[in-house]
Amino acid sequence: MAKFEQKIEARNLRKEGKSIKQIAKELNVSTSSVSGWCQDIVLSEDQILELEKHARDPNYGRRLENSLRQRRERILKTEKLMKDGVKEIGSITRRELFIAGIALYWAEGFKKDNQVGFANSDPGMINFYIKWLYKCCGIKLQDLNPRATVNISHKNRINVIQKYWSEATRIPSKNFGKPFYQNTKWKKVYENPNEYYGVLRVRVRRSTDLLRKIHGWVEGLKLQA
């Protein structure tokens, strides 16, 4: 069994309530591997109680209480840090958006093309880039040329994928270019294949001069290093 298949099987067994040691023994892998694969899976109270019974834990009941307390503390801490982070960003000015957009393009934007372009699988990042184009570069909706790139094994889902990106970016489906398919079929099996939406490439039509200016903006940022 390939390692990625073992990971999926381990996660499925953990969701059923099996212990890390049981899973490791069943799949003939180390407990550290199973622990790493399953660290985000939260067991129910009943599953924890059942594991304690099987282990004949002399502290039966206490481990559940401690586990639930640690889980609550972890959730509260994570929520607080998230809220603190959002608060620290607050509302950004146009100038801040301008600089952030240049840095983002420097990292992820197309450099060798003769048109402005950007590709990513994160809708949040794509929308930030589009907002930057609108607010800081004077680009209009009709100037955008989005195109989905997906693996050929998901060709049968292309309508769902394009709808996903259309809704995420608020760009009408009619504006999308013909999808591009990667012809190499994956050997790897993913745990949630229906959550795969490929990569969205968003080019700007007739944007050679804008691209040259962006290169200048990037050079300006480099001088600040």
To the question of pTM greater than 0.75 for the whole model, the response is no
Q: Enter the tokens of residue 149.
A: 């790139």
The pLDDT, as a whole number, for residue 54 is 65
- Looking at the 3D structure of the chain, how many domains does it have? 2
> Is there a single domain that holds both residue 113 and residue 71?
no
> Is there a single domain that holds both residue 141 and residue 206?
yes
> Is there a single domain that holds both residue 47 and residue 77?
yes
- Residue 2: which pLDDT band, with cuts at 50, 70 and 90? low
Compute the distance between CA of residue 143 and CA of residue 59 in angstroms, rounded to an integer.
Answer: 66
Q: Which residues are CB-contacts of 184 (< 8 A; sequence separation ≥ 6)?
A: 151, 152
> Is there a single domain that holds both residue 67 and residue 105?
no
- The DSSP H or E segment spanning 138 is none
> Is there a single domain that holds both residue 73 and residue 23?
yes
The pLDDT, as a whole number, for residue 59 is 53
pLDDT > 60? residue 150 = yes
CATH number at residue 118: 3.30.1330
> Is there a single domain that holds both residue 70 and residue 109?
no
> Is there a single domain that holds both residue 82 and residue 107?
no
> Cβ of 118: how many Cβ atoms within 10 Å?
23
Structural domain span for residue 80: 3-88
